[in-house]
Chain A
Amino acid sequence: MKRSFILILVVTFVSAVFSGCATVPKKDYAAFQAADPHSILIIPVVNRSVDVDAPDYFLSTLSIPVAERGYYVFPVDMVKHLLENNGLSDADLVHNADTMKLCSMFGADSVLYVCIERWDAKYMLITTKVTVDFDYKLKDCKTGDVIWTERKAMVYSPQQSQSSGNPLADLVAMAISAAITKGVPNYMPLAHQANAEAFAYPKGGGLPAGPYLPEHKKDYDQQKK
């Protein structure tokens, strides 16, 4: 029975860490509160990793966590196509374009700029370390200023959780799981987790409630506690 309690304790602790319940130092929300954006335009993601597919894949994960914070989120796929049709086929071009012009083109209150800093899998003899790292910036359409920013990195390496008792068999099992991860590394769970933590408020220092949540403007002081 003693062993089971320790196990429960360990599992509880690990899952608490994974679900992003950890507290983060507070942020200054004065500029955000002054801007009070109601809509957020998510533009294509800039890629600083070597994986050419990463920006599109990551773009698909952003709408839901942002909209669930109570904001109107513009249709990301449609926005991407419209920008392409207007000569902004490259995300770097969009990010370097004038914020106010983007705003007036879509009638947005704010623009979310996201950069992928890392999106890679490193093979390390018997295991694989998968890393993602994102930089988020929200700019106000009235002033063009950055009103919220966040940086989120996530690392995953498969754990040797079930031991067969035979060290050689364990090594083989790990090598296999590493090969699978290396062959088709699945970044998406890590990406979703990064977003969940980045936008969570007030615990994660994320986005305060938008106009479609009942806590809109009422949760500003929560961050200071």
Chain B
Amino acid sequence: MAKRTLPLFVAFVMLLMLAQGCAPSRKYAWGGYDADLYSHYKHPQDREAHLEHLQEYVNNAEAEDRVPPGLYAEYGYCLYELGNIDEAVLYFEKEKAKWPESNVLMEKMIRNARRQQENLRRPSSMDSSQGQEETK
């Protein structure tokens, strides 16, 4: 029995080593970004879980100082969609500061978010602007 399992074990270890050799460790701390996005598309109604996951990835990546491109913005946009405009702007600003390539888009998002916020503050347009939140 032992004679037969040993070669299998050796083969398994070699396979593991090879698999690791061809898939080097990642440059950025992504956390479960791709898996979360996949489940977000599978269950789009579960936005709170998506937000929680993104928050966790952002915090971990910041702690390691290996924040991947787009992560701040994805989290910011999730906050924005859930109506947390102030915090959304904070993360759009973070994306812009870390990645100069995002400047044009983040400027737009920050302007949109501020406009949204002003609409919400204006009592007369409150009802209509809330209805438009999804399409803005």
Contact = CB atoms under 8 A, between A and B. Distances in A.
Interface of A: 3-5, 7-8, 11-12, 15-16, 19-21, 38-39, 53, 56-57, 59-61, 63-64, 67-68, 70-78, 81, 85, 106-109, 188, 196, 212-213
A7 B8 contact: yes
A197 to B, nearest CB: 10
Contact of A212 (B11, B27, B35, B77): B27
Nearest to A11: B11
Given A15-B15, A16-B18, A63-B33, A74 B105 contact: yes
B105 A67 contact: no
B97 interface: no
Interface of B: 6-8, 10-12, 14-15, 18-19, 21-23, 26-28, 30, 33-35, 37-38, 40-42, 68-71, 73-74, 77, 81, 95, 99, 101-105, 135-136
A85 B102 contact: no
18 contacts: A7-B11, A8-B11, A11-B11, A11-B15, A12-B14, A15-B18, A20-B22, A56-B41, A57-B42, A59-B41, A63-B33, A63-B70, A64-B68, A68-B26, A73-B69, A77-B37, A78-B74, A107-B105
A75 B68 contact: no
B73 A67 contact: no
B135 A85 contact: yes
A188 B70 contact: no
Contacts of B27: 67-68, 70, 212-213
Nearest to B95: A75
A209 to B, nearest CB: 11
A3 B6 CA distance: 11
Given A11-B15, A72-B102, A85-B135, A57 B69 contact: no
Contacts of B77: 75, 77-78, 81
A8 B17 CA distance: 13
Given A60-B41, A85-B136, A196 B23 contact: yes
Nearest to B8: A7
B66 to A, nearest CB: 11
Contacts of B103: 107
A74 B103 CA distance: 11
A3 B4 CA distance: 9
